[in-house]
Amino acid sequence: MKSIQRCPWPTDELYRAYHDTEWGVPLHDDRRLFEFIVLEGAQAGLSWHIILKKRAAYRKAFARFDPEKVARFGRVKIGQLCADAGIVRNRLKIESAVSNARAFLKTQEEFGSFDAYIWRFVDGRPRINRWRSMSEVPARTKVSDAMSKDLMARGFRFVGSTICYAHMQATGMVNDHLVRCFRHGELGGARGGTAPSRCKDRVFERILAHPPFFTHVRSGHLHKN
Ligand SMILES: [Zn+2]
């Protein structure tokens, strides 16, 4: 019997669904990109699995990831969130989600969309890697270093280079599925070279039709899991 080949890190149903439908899919929707920034900031120091389990609570706590609403969160609202057991109760992380929403809106204004801004770091096209084992997958690259520096200059917090690289993996700016994983080929790896910036295959359209989800696994955590 031939079983489906996957990356080694999805160890339960939650992770498998995430790996199979979200992680590495080129993402161009600003609301979902903002969702990523909030969740990623919350993750710092924790496992991505914990954050995935809290995702529904995050969506509720952070106005369905509407950056305009989150940017207006004041002291009272932040105090309430600090008492919300559904999310990571860390004041610094919660405050940074609000200041990141403000930086996000400014960036949107400057570039027309956050999508247009962030994809410039890879010239609008996913980079298709060909890793054979997890040990080859980097935790950061020169591109993520540059992205981190630029985001910080724009006032974003919790955007270190490894977080930025995790963002690139999750949102399909790089295809870091191992070559033997079935998703590597589905997300452009089968064609070799570089995939179109907006993957038009059926899988991608199906995913776009889903409720807003977004992705991401940090390679650092993957090694540990
Ligand atoms: Zn994979």
20 CA from centroid of ligand 1 (Å): 7
Residue 2 lies in a domain: no
Q: How large is the average pLDDT for residues 90-115?
A: 98
- Any domain includes 128: yes
* pLDDT for residue 58 is more than 80: yes
Q: Which tokens in the block code for residue 88? A: 């990571």
| Mean pLDDT score of the chain | 87
CA of 77 to the centre of ligand 1 (A): 38
User: Which among 48, 117, 119, 165 is annotated as catalytic?
Assistant: 48
Report the number of secondary-structure helices (H) and strands (E) in the chain. 13, 2
Gap from CA of 129 to ligand 1 centroid (Å): 12
Indicate whether 3 belongs to any domain. no
Query: Is the pLDDT score of 94 beyond 50?
Result: yes
Structure tokens at 214: 């977004």
In the chain, the largest separation of any two C-alpha atoms, in whole Å, equals 58
Asked, for residue 145, whether it belongs to a domain, the answer is yes
pLDDT interval class at 161 (50, 70, 90): very high
Q: What is the CATH number for 207? A: 1.10.340.30
- Are 159 and 152 within 8 A, CB to CB? yes
Identify whether 96 is part of a domain.
yes
**pLDDT tens, 7-50?**
999 999 999 999 999 999 999 999 999 999 999 999 988 999 99
- Residue type for 85, please? A
| Confidence check: pLDDT of 210 > 80 | no
Compute CA distances 83 → 45, 64, 77, 88, whole Å. 20, 19, 10, 9
Query: Of the residues 9, 18, 58, 119, which is catalytic?
Result: 18
> Distance from the CA of 114 to the center of ligand 1, in angstroms?
26
For the question of residue 58 being annotated catalytic, the response is: no
Catalytic: which of 40, 58, 131, 186? 40
Exposed/middle/buried for residue 141 (C-beta within 10 Å: 0-12, 13-18, 19+): middle
The reply to whether 159 falls in a domain is yes
Residue 216, phi then psi, degrees to nearest 5: 150, 135
For the segment 133-157, the average pLDDT, to the nearest whole number, is 98
Domain-located, residue 180: yes
Structural domain count of the chain = 1
Decide if 108 is inside a domain. yes
Ligand 1: distance of its center to the CA of 74 in Å? 40
Residues with CB under 5 A from ligand 1 (ion): 7, 177, 181, 183
Rounded (5°) CA angle 208-66-20: 30
Catalytic, 18? Answer: yes
Q: How far is the CA of 130 from the centre of ligand 1 (A)?
A: 11
- Residue 219 contacts residue 139 (beta carbons within 8 Å): yes
Q: What is the pLDDT averaged over residues 60-67?
A: 98
Q: Which domain holds residue 118?
A: 13-224
